[in-house]
Structure 1
Amino acid sequence: MKNVPIIGIGGTIRNIAKISRKKNNYPIDNLHNYQISIDEVFEIYNMTKVKDSGERKKIKGLSKERADIFLGAAGAVVTLFEFLELRDLYVSGCGLREGIIYEYILQNNTPLNSVLDFSINNHMLNYEMDINHAKQVWKLTQSLYNDLKSILNIDDDYNKILKTAALLHDSGIRISYYDHHAHSFYIIANSKINGLSHKEQLMAAYIAALHRKNDFKIDLNKYEKIITERDLEIIQKLAILLRICENLDSGANSNIINIFCSIEYITVTISIESKADSPLEISQCLDCAPAFEKITGKKLIIQ
């Protein structure tokens, strides 16, 4: 059991997280998947145990209704950490009520194959998205990602980040079509998406926000506790793939069946297999060519 994380639910855990978030000026309000180190849990406990109930009510992040009972409950959490020699605390935004609901829905008790896929599908339904278009864009983006990994210099696997961005890139249309990329950013960044860390969720939100043009500002100062300069590079690289593939299904009719990439010394050629002629899709994709060349150092050819 040593050095494994613990997942916490309930009011005490959430209040520990809220105190931590206020103390660290954390930029995301979503508590689900918020991570706290053992050192910070101990720090919060030691800070609260020297205060009386009235003083604890003034602690930022701590619910006034829990001020009188928080210390004992937090002490139990600290004791558990010490006894099991745990490393990190992850906060779950779900509780017993959600467990009962899932138990009812999944009456055969079969675990979900993918918590992330289940969560994304729920969001697509909730925001009344064009699911066929979203899945087509993801299919093309995944193909492009797999073919171009070698020139993007991406070492880690960003598949689930890119998948989230591709499938939810149009979620903002539920608010307004105009500037829907900006609305999509807010929705993805602030929703409870199971299966993603806050960093992964924020990266997916930025990738989705850049699916139309390259003019959505990435605020590194605001999110410096979560993403790095290197993450920004990855976001730009993955966003250009999504932008190309969004244009390949600009008619939302799945006209493009498959794409195939050929990487040469100074060029990348994307060959298209389509149901019908696709001059509009090709023309719109070529609008991405300058940004693609800037990112990859290679000219984009689409045929």
Structure 2
Amino acid sequence: MFGHVTADFYINVMYGPEDITADEMVTVNQGKTVSIECTASGNPPPTITWTRGAATYNSTSTPLASSVGVAHLVVEEARWRDTGVYLCHAANKVNQPPPATTKFIVTQPATEVEGGEGGQGSWASVGGNGRLVCHVRAAPPPSFQWVRASGEVVKMSEKYIIHRPRLQDGLVEWASVLEVRDVTQRDYGEYLCAARNQLGSTSVSRTLGPPTRPHPPLNLTVSNASSGSITLSWAPNYAGGLPRGYSVRYRAAGSTLYQVVEVSGGASQGVTVHGLSPGTQYLFTVPGTQPTRTLIVRDAADRSHYSR
């Protein structure tokens, strides 16, 4: 006689976090409190963690909220500094997929963004084209108007091109660009960029001026020396505008004949000069810098040295 056996099996299939869900964008008025939910499935149930993304104000990898299966990010009495990208991470012992992102925007009046592109203004030659850039932070989006210091409102024309405002950071930083075509002496001067939304306004001053003589670079140093070559380094100086490049002059001690190495690009920060004679003292300078650097290039068996 044959018997039979009955057995029950429980199969536990483990898998990483799936369906990480959080609002793509949340907008809140200043002073209000808001809770943002993030959920995910998985086996075992994943741990959900909120952090603040990099490249935003007060970015941090420190957990802001954490729980299993679902986590709520609570922002109390929201301020403009809370604006940013927040990341919802879901992880278990199987996997940790890329986080979900939430853009969190706190409404705010138009205010100037310090240190943005364009600085305090720009320069252009007569007959050339000038470009002025105005950066502000605002939510809701701002409207822009450019005005001459005389009170003349700048309007779209063959002379003036006002570009459509563009969102710089995907959140609240906006830029307006004014192009001045075929510049004349009359076009030089101060321009005011007025930006406003429903919560407030600001006025940013930009100056269009003629080109100035570029300033010499700063901190000329010898960063490396070897048999037959040396490397000079410097810090570009944009105070007088962007130079087209640099001329490095050098001569052997006792000689009056200078040789010149041309370095293209005003953002260049150094150059290596080859073909120097070991055991010879050289004097180097980038016109306009002080002091002149003096060095001795020795043979390969001896270390090169230089004065600073």
Question: What TM-score comes out, normalization by structure 2 length?
Answer: 0.22
Between Structure 1 and Structure 2, the one with more helix by share is 1
Larger Rg belongs to: 2
Looking at both structures, which has the greater relative contact order when contacts are Cα pairs under 8 Å and sequence separation is at least 6?
Answer: 1
In terms of fraction of residues, the more strand-rich structure is 2
TM (norm. structure 1) is 0.22
